[in-house]
Chains A and B, each alone.
Chain A
Amino acid sequence: MSITDVPAGPNAFDRFFQQLGTGQILLAVALVLYPFLVSPFFAFQIGGQILILGMIALSLMMLAGYGGMVSLAQLTLAGIASYSVAIFGTNSVGLMGFGWPWWIVVPFSILIAALVAVLIGLISVRTSGIYTIMITLAIGTAFFYFATQNHSLFNGFAGYRGIDAPTVFGVYWRDPIPFYYLCLAVAVVAYGLVLYCARSSFGLALQATRDNPRRMRAIGYNVTAVKVFAYFLSGLIAGTAGVLYAWFNGRISPGTISVGEIIGVLVIAVIGGLRHPIGPFLGALVYVLMKTFAIDLIGAERFNTLIGLVFLVIVFISPDGILGLWEKLKPHLAPTSLRSS
């Protein structure tokens, strides 16, 4: 977590680069070169999906890791943004599709997701622990069934299809490589935002609220406002991911936000690790690769068992997810001369 401490000021950039390790630079180079080294399928379907699901799980990690609020409605927020893209943008279903230009639709959709996040926050901040999980799961499930059965706004089970990414600066942003870079850029911004927030006075207040809300209230903090603002931020991230998800799939239907998928986001966050914003992306990496390729490894009959087993093993070996696994492995991977330190 060496780049978390970024003070404001003229030297911020210098400090930032001083603190970068070789590892980070290698990772950045790898991420930038990645789409040129692999097939378009890996750039788009695997890379894009990992980054999008990683962002949705990141919004959950932010709430759960820093705020102690496990919200299962994050995929629902992304879904709301996706539906908003279909409803206010263009689709080929012949329902809604107001055809607004992308530069209105995108911020508008993200804002809607963030506002809904505030609503969910207002409802669920009264609860804590398992009750937050239950109430947000209830919201997610209710929205899934509502979208499935509502035909005038959500077009029922079939949902919307024919959602397309815009062409800006002469680049069609749904082509594999541009789409990957778009996702990467947005994911890096979201990642940086969460890292920055964690160290900001708001982030510290959020973490303090997680640890002792009564004391925070006694000091004079508006605990509810802090928590609801965290929901708002998480809604921005999830909503942005939702817009990308709509472009990625080219469609949105209730299947994308079903209870199984909601649990999938929780699985991503948990197997990745909730202590650091990189966790959700690691979790998404394992999740997407398993979901896509398990069927090749073990055949069509039992591949879901394999997926479940891998997740089980990760959490069993390391309750902290892949992040914890990394921490455990790190001493063994280090040069021998450093081992004792």
Chain B
Amino acid sequence: MMEIESKLGGTNMSLQRKAIMALTLATAFVAPTLAMAEGTIKIGTLATLEGPFTVLGQDGMRGVELAIKEHNGMAGGMKIEIVKGSTDASPDSAVKAARKLVEQDGVQLVVGPLSGDEGLAVKDYAKTKPNITFVNGTSGAQDLTLRDPAANYFRFNTDGAQWMAGLGDYAYNVKGYKKVATVAEDYSFPYSQVFGFMAGFCKAGGHVPSKSWVPIGNKDFSSVIAALPDDVDAIYVALGGADASNFLSQYQQAGGKAHLIGGTITVDQTVLGSEGKSKDVVIGTPSAGPVADNNDSPAWAKFAADYKAAFKDGFPAPSLFAHGYYVNTKALLLALDQVKGDVSGDQSKLRDALSKLSFDTPTGKVSLDKNRNAIADIYLSEVAKGADGKLYNKVVKTIPQVNETLGQDEAAFLKLGVANKDNPDCK
């Protein structure tokens, strides 16, 4: 197929043409990262900009943009430049995107990723890049920080189990649900969520006779719905994005009548803000999480107003993804301010600043524990219909400063074991 090159003695013109082609190809493929402009800090972001969690990832990116906009695009006297990486919620795609950001684009700091197992995978990668600092997006897998943490990975949002603080107790004692079945996606974040819910619910005396796990991106829930026990008082649903909408509408079509309890992202704005009938069944559903729509604190009101002003195509209120990415990015910018943008060497100055950072977010004070995981407020809420007909999460109660071990002694908490599909168990 390449005999032609063997007769290279052709005219100058074709040689030239070949040389130009070769050069173009070479520069197109091999162009090295351009040297960084003086006074610029490159931050790479990881978010799910494709796949089932696309809308969530897009809202996460709005949070990053908002935080940087508030800082006027500067931190510690340096200009902030964002390089976006896209993942599809699979751990492999997260590592691939992270590698590109760090090794090709030459970012010095990484914000993200969004999803549970992505976080665990990026944590492993972070350990191989000790000179880069990673700040979480919204990954809520418990073991991102609880077990075997990476020294250069910081999480200024609370984890999936923390988000459930108080919900199990509330469902049993206030709502009066004694038996609850769970439906959740089959990966680490919902494991953490179910773990957090059951930690409170089982302790209060409740029983969970059946747990269903579905793959991310599942479209057909009929077999799951058919397998749900008839005698349960409520179904605990920890599904996200399109999965939540699909389950809720199919459950309704199948004539399901049980009450619902929401995982954190089940009745998030991504579901409440969508159109269609499925949204009416969720009215009265209790859930818990790091954000609540009608939070009446001035800080939240300002955050929500800024969000609405900046993003006409956004949700009616910032989702927890916008919030999580916002808080994590803001923490990073604040720390950069403190160290005057010094990200040289092993970035130990920046890490010290991050570790000691305690600041006020739209949802109250955030600080880190020794594993670099956030201690922050959690909101217990119920879905309600606003005067404008739109659904929102009405705050029932605020649980202040929840830590990763849910207030328990660390050794005792670790003894409960790794959250997975079989653990915990209270049939």
Contact = CB atoms under 8 A, between A and B. Distances in A.
Contacts of A27: 2
A26 B117 CA distance: 44
Interface in B101-150: 103-105, 117, 120-121, 124
Contact of A1 (B1, B10, B216): B1
B92 A253 contact: yes
A23 B5 contact: yes
B92 A148 contact: no
Interface string A263-302: 0000000000000101000000000010010011001110
B14 A255 contact: no
A37 B215 contact: no
A143 to B, nearest CB: 13
B49 A300 contact: yes
B100 A45 contact: yes
A2 B187 contact: no
Interface string A60-80: 000000000000000000000
A41 B100 contact: yes
A159 B91 contact: yes
Given A149-B215, A156-B187, A289-B29, A253 B90 contact: yes
A40 B92 contact: no
Interface in B27-65: 29-30, 32-33, 49-50, 61
Contact of B117 (A21, A149, A157, A295): A157
A23 B4 CA distance: 8
Given A251-B91, A251-B121, A303-B86, A157 B6 contact: no
Given A41-B99, A45-B103, A255 B93 contact: yes
**Which range holds the interface residue count of chain B?**
35 or more
Contacts of A254: 90
A1 B1 CA distance: 5
Nearest 10 A-B pairs (CB), nearest first?
A335-B10, A255-B90, A23-B2, A23-B5, A21-B6, A41-B103, A157-B187, A300-B84, A41-B104, A22-B5
Interface of A: 1-2, 21-24, 26-27, 37-42, 45-46, 92, 145, 148-149, 151, 156-159, 161-162, 249-251, 253-256, 258, 260, 276, 278, 289, 292, 295-296, 299-301, 303-304, 326, 330, 333-338
Interface of B: 1-11, 13-14, 17-18, 21, 29-30, 32-33, 49-50, 61, 84-86, 88-93, 95-96, 99-100, 103-105, 117, 120-121, 124, 186-188, 213, 215-216, 420-421
10 contacts: A23-B4, A41-B100, A157-B117, A157-B215, A253-B90, A255-B89, A333-B18, A335-B7, A335-B8, A336-B11
